[in-house]
């Protein structure tokens, strides 16, 4: 049994990590700014929830106390949260070191260091924080999630359009399989390497237009599939296929299979 602190354990991937770790018999502490109130479905039985903020340090030592390993599933998309994303990682790691944690696992994005797109730059900056840490670290870079693309389609279809990015292909992966990879990285035997980096991707590479058709068929949603140009560094990143993870795929669950399972909730 390991003691695992999941930073961001109330989020999309974090929740999956928490559920899987508990199923495997580990003790789990969850750190987030707004833990779900007792009795709410989002609260997973068996986990201990701590209110804290990695950008201020408040509540962080309490959540890390007694942990062997910390898994960082945090997010910071805009404004101050984006600006402080890497700093938050630094604060989390120094508190982890102080608490006697032996390993930290970071969830990041495939090839985030290969574009000038600001959101990805913040991910690359946090990766560098991890690679400089005195702690043993594993950075797991994932391709885009099935849910990200499904959300884009759903948002557009509300106004009658299913938007796709011209020239974009995706190798999306399910958040549950990403969580499994994070947990594996957290629990594997030490290799002697202080900082490790691995990349995981979904089972198939699909043109975004084909994904839009699949999404329409499975959800029964209406909307005209349109191709839009995406200018700037992110557009280039996608057209160059830098969002893909060549080689043996980690994920087994396809976009279609993932959608089918959630048909009622999409
Ligand atoms: N979407 C994709 O396609 C994709 C692909 C690869 C990697 N990723 C990356 O994977 C990571 C996890 O993604 P996700 O979708 O699971 O994120 P998410 O659902 O937005 O969850 C983020 C979690 O972090 C917590 N959090 C945010 N700021 C915090 C702070 N200052 N202090 C403490 N807790 C904080 C949130 O809880 P509170 O709000 O209550 O604090 C929540 O538990 C992100 O870095 C994301 O960019 C995403």
Note the pLDDT tens digit of each residue in 168-205.
Answer: 999 999 999 999 999 999 999 988 899 999 999 999 99
- Is 52 domain-assigned? yes
Instruction: Read off the pLDDT of each residue in 109-127 and give the average, rounded to a whole number.
Output: 97
- CA dist., res. 8 & res. 156, Å (int): 28
Q: How far is the CA of 29 from the centre of ligand 1 (A)?
A: 16
Q: Which two tokens stand for residue 84?
A: 């402080």
- Residue 264, pLDDT above cutoff 80: no
| Cα-based distances in Å from 58 to 13, 28, 87, 95, 98 | 23, 19, 14, 11, 15
User: In angstroms, what is the span from residue 107 Cα to ligand 1's centroid?
Assistant: 9
Say which DSSP state 35 is in. P
pLDDT at 13 over 80: yes
pLDDT at position 42:
87
Please give the tally of structural domains in the chain.
1
For atom 7 of ligand 1, the residue with the nearest CA is 109
- Per-residue pLDDT, averaged over 226-239, amounts to 97
Residues near 246 by beta carbon (within 8 Å), at least 6 away in sequence: none
Q: CA dist 45 to 21, 29, 41, 64, 162, Å?
A: 12, 11, 9, 19, 38
pTM of the model: 0.97
Please state the rounded mean pLDDT for residues 38-60: 94
Give yes or no for a contact between 10 and 32, defined as CB atoms under 8 angstroms apart.
Answer: yes
Best substitution site from 31, 53, 73, 180 to test ligand 1's pocket, by max atoms within 8 Å of Cβ? Answer: 73
68 located within any domain:
yes
CA separation (Å) from 140 to 109, 147, 209, 223, 263? 8, 18, 28, 35, 29
Neighbour-count burial of 100, counting CB atoms closer than 10 A to its CB (0-12 exposed, 13-18 middle, 19+ buried) = exposed
Helices (H), the chain: 12-23, 60-64, 79-83, 85-99, 118-132, 146-157, 175-187, 208-219, 232-239, 255-261
Ligand 1 centre distance from Cα of residue 71 (Å): 12
For residue 31 the two structure tokens come to: 């750190």
239 contact partners, CB below 8 Å, separation of at least 6: 167, 168
CATH value at residue 92: 3.40.50.720
Mutate to test the pocket of ligand 1, among 5, 29, 33 (most ligand atoms within 8 A of CB): 33
DSSP lists the bridge partners of residue 33 as none
Ligand 1 shell residues, CB under 6 Å: 8, 10-14, 31-34, 52-55, 73-76, 88, 107, 109, 142, 144-145, 148
pLDDT in tens, 56-78: 999 999 999 999 999 999 999 99
Kindly state whether residue 235 falls inside one of the protein's structural domains: no
**Backbone angle region of 229, left / alpha / beta, with phi > 0 → left and psi within -120 to 50 → alpha:** beta
The answer as to whether 240 is a domain residue is no
Q: Which ligand 1 atom sits nearest the alpha carbon of residue 34?
A: 40
Gap between the Cα atoms of 185 and 160, Å rounded: 42
Residue 163 belongs to a domain: no
Read off the pLDDT band of 263 (50, 70, 90). confident
**What DSSP character marks residue 145?**
B
Q: Is residue 129 part of a domain?
A: yes
Whole-number percent of the chain with pLDDT over 90: 95
Atom of ligand 1 nearest to the CA of 55: 31
pLDDT at 266: 67
Domain hosting residue 96, numbered range: 3-142+175-200
For the stretch 132-170, pLDDT in tens is 999 999 999 999 999 999 999 999 999 999 999 999 999
Q: Which atom of ligand 1 is nearest to the CA of 85?
A: 31
Write the residue with the smallest CA distance to atom 34 of ligand 1.
32
Q: Give residue for tokens 């884009």.
A: 152
Cα(151)–Cα(157) distance, rounded to whole angstroms? 10
CA of 123 to the centre of ligand 1 (A): 12
pLDDT score at 40: 87
Inside any domain, residue 110:
yes
Mean pLDDT estimate for the chain: 97
CA of 222 to the centre of ligand 1 (A): 30
Judge whether 94 lies within some domain.
yes
């Amino acid at each position: 049994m390991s003691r695992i602190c999941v930073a961001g354990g109330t989020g999309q991937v974090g929740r999956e990590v928490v559920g899987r770790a508990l199923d495997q018999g580990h003790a789990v502490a969850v750190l987030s700014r707004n833990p779900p109130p007792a009795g709410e479905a989002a609260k997973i039985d068996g986990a201990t929830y701590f209110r804290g903020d990695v950008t201020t340090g408040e509540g962080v030592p309490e959540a890390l106390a007694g942990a062997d390993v910390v898994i960082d599933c945090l997010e910071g998309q805009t404004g101050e949260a984006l600006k402080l994303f890497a700093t938050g990682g630094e604060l989390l790691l120094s508190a982890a070191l102080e608490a006697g944690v032996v390993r930290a696992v970071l969830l990041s994005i495939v090839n985030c260091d290969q574009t000038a797109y600001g959101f990805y730059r913040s991910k690359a900056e946090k990766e560098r924080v991890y690679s400089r840490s005195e702690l043993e670290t594993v950075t797991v870079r994932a391709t885009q999630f099935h849910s990200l693309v499904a959300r884009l389609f759903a948002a557009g279809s509300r106004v009658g359009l299913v938007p796709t990015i011209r020239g974009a292909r995706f190798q999306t992966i399910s958040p549950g399989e990403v969580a499994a990879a994070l947990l594996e990285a957290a629990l594997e035997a030490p290799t002697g390497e202080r900082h490790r980096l691995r990349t995981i991707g979904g089972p198939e590479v699909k043109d975004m237009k084909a994904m839009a058709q699949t999404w329409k068929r499975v959800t029964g949603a209406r909307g005209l599939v349109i191709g839009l140009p995406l200018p700037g560094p992110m557009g280039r990143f996608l057209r160059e296929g830098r969002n893909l993870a060549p080689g043996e795929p980690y994920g087994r669950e396809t976009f279609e299979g993932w959608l089918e399972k959630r048909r009622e909730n999409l």
